[in-house]
């Protein structure tokens, strides 16, 4: 089973890139972030024509997450929204159970974690609270011992080697000690950073800003992660970054990250 995560930075603008990626990589599950549209505006026809079922949690102009599941795999138990704060109306979390003939069930979540900037605003405490809610929910899901993949744009640079210039991010919410500590607490629940488990090299990035020639200078950061429960990690075969998609015309500033798991 191939599972990809991709912050598409507007699904309506990037639907051509998305369908080309589906044809090229043939992922079984795709976790999308930053749809930037309401559910009724998602280009479902194009995605369904590519052979995928689509479940979304959209929001006008901002946020938005989706799960795409390639047929004949089946998606059930869809949950929209991260538990723990009924007042939170931001569209940042969707999960479901994916299974099929000869494929053991895997619970997959698409997550768009808050950016948190500026740090001095209410956005940073919201980011940290979201991470804590995610940690608690992950622990509850892991109690069922069903393989779990928490995939998405975490807006966290875990380590200095995950940035081309760590000093440039020192005071940014993505690299603040509080954000990194909260991410480590999430991992401490028993989750595995799939990409780092397969590729520990420096210089592996998933995001390049549109400004200051970041792409051409390879001034990137790694903020898109797939975290695996022990049961999912036992099935891990490989993890990779589809870096070439950042070089497309009018690309997203993120690229897909893909893991391959044994079917059973």
Digit-coded pLDDT (tens) for 111-135: 999 999 999 999 999 999 999 999 9
Q: Is the pLDDT of residue 264 over 90?
A: no
- pLDDT for the residue 52: 98
Domain total for the chain? Answer: 1
Joined tokens for residue 122: 């209410």
Is the dihedral angle over the CA atoms 180, 183, 189, 195 positive or is it negative? negative
Q: Is the pLDDT of residue 233 over 90?
A: yes
pLDDT tens figures, 61-95: 999 999 999 999 999 999 999 999 999 999 999 99
- Beta bridge partners, 65, equal 33, 57
Which of the following is catalytic: 52, 112, 154, 205? 112
d(CA 229, CA 138): 9
Let me know if 172 is a catalytic residue. Answer: no
- pLDDT for the residue 212: 86
- pLDDT for the residue 221: 98
Let me know if 112 is a catalytic residue. Answer: yes
Binding site residues for Mg(2+), as ranges? 7, 34, 153, 155, 253-254
Task: Tell me the average pLDDT across 90-102.
Answer: 97
- 167's CB contacts (< 8 A; 6+ apart) are none
Joined tokens for residue 136: 């608690």
- pLDDT for the residue 2: 98
Task: Tell me the average pLDDT across 100-109.
Answer: 96
Binding site residues, as ranges? 7, 34, 153, 155, 253-254
Percent of the chain with pLDDT over 90: 99
Regarding beta strands 103-112 and 93-100, do their DSSP bridges make them parallel or antiparallel, or are they unpaired? antiparallel
Q: Residue 103's pLDDT band (boundaries 50, 70, 90)?
A: very high
Which of the following is catalytic: 153, 162, 193, 224? 153
Domain that holds residue 80: 2-261
Task: Output the pTM of the full model.
Answer: 0.98
Tell me which residue has tokens 């003939």.
101
Let me know if 153 is a catalytic residue. Answer: yes
pLDDT tens figures, 186-204: 999 999 999 999 999 999 9
Q: The domain that contains 79 carries what CATH number?
A: 3.60.10.10
Q: Residue 154's pLDDT band (boundaries 50, 70, 90)?
A: very high
């Amino acid at each position: 089973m191939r599972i990809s995560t991709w912050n598409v930075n507007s699904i309506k603008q990037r639907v051509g890139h998305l369908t080309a990626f589906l044809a090229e990589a043939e992922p079984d599950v795709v976790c999308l972030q930053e749809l930037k549209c309401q559910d009724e505006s998602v280009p479902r026809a194009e995605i369904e024509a590519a052979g995928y079922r689509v479940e979304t949690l959209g929001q006008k102009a901002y946020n938005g997450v989706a799960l795409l599941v390639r047929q004949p795999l089946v998606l059930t138990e869809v949950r929209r929204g991260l538990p723990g704060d009924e007042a939170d109306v931001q569209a940042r979390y969707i999960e479901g159970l994916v299974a099929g003939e000869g494929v053991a069930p895997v619970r997959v979540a698409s997550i768009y974690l808050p950016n948190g900037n500026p740090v001095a605003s209410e956005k940073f405490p919201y980011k940290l609270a979201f991470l804590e809610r995610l940690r608690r929910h992950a622990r509850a899901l892991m109690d069922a011992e069903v393989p779990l993949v928490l995939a998405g744009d975490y807006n966290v640079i875990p380590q200095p080697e995950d940035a081309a210039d760590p000093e440039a991010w020192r005071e940014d919410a993505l690299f603040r000690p509080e954000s990194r500590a909260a991410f480590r607490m999430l991992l401490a629940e028993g989750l595995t950073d799939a990409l780092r488990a397969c590729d520990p090299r420096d210089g592996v990035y998933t995001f390049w800003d549109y400004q200051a020639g970041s792409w051409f200078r390879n001034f990137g950061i790694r903020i898109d992660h797939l975290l695996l429960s022990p049961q999912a990690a036992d099935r891990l075969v490989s993890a990779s970054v589809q870096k070439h998609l950042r070089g497309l015309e009018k690309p997203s500033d993120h690229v897909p990250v893909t893991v391959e798991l044994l079917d059973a």
